[in-house]
């Protein structure tokens, strides 16, 4: 897709600071990093989001996320690592080519967590399980 910046990067028509790649995926540094080493992992084939990516392609991305996490740990010695993905504008997706963020974390890095956890009641959880079971 010529209007997709990640497809352009994969094709070599747009610049990127490549971290690692294989025949199915590519990992490159985010141009607006949350922390040093913030890396994006994308499938080579275009898939808009989690709902469009095939299971096989998603598995390739997951394996590359694992490899990139190990590389970043060895190179940067972070205290931790965050791995995130957003599907849809409501979730914060800005580039509509499936991608995972691999973000090295350090104590005191001032990045916030994505939500404030609140324990759900048994009834709330049961209602969700019932809705999921209805569409399986």
Q: ∠61-24-55 over CA atoms, to 5°?
A: 50
Over the chain, what is the mean pLDDT? 96
Q: Give the start-to-end residue ranges of the domains of the chain.
A: 5-135
Q: Which residues are catalytic?
A: 99
pLDDT tens across 90-120, in order?
999 999 999 999 999 999 998 987 788 889 9
Q: Measured between alpha carbons, how far is 23 from 96 in angstroms, rounded to an integer? A: 21
Phi, psi of 105 (to 5 degrees): -125, 140
pTM attached to this predicted model: 0.93
Which top CATH class is 5-135?
alpha beta
Distance between terminal CA atoms of the chain? 33
């Amino acid at each position: 897709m010529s209007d997709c910046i990640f497809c352009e990067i994969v094709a070599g028509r747009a610049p990127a600071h490549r971290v690692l790649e294989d025949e199915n995926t590519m990992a490159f540094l985010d141009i607006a990093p949350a922390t040093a080493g913030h890396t994006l992992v994308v499938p080579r084939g275009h898939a808009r989001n989690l709902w469009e990516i095939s299971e096989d392609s998603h598995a390739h991305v997951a394996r590359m996320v694992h490899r990139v996490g190990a590389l970043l740990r060895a190179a940067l010695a972070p205290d931790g690592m965050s791995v995130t993905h957003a599907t849809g504008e409501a979730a914060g997706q800005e580039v509509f080519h499936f991608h995972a963020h691999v973000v090295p974390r350090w104590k005191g890095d001032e990045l916030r967590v994505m939500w404030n956890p609140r324990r759900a009641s048994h009834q709330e959880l049961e209602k969700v399980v019932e809705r999921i079971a209805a569409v399986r």
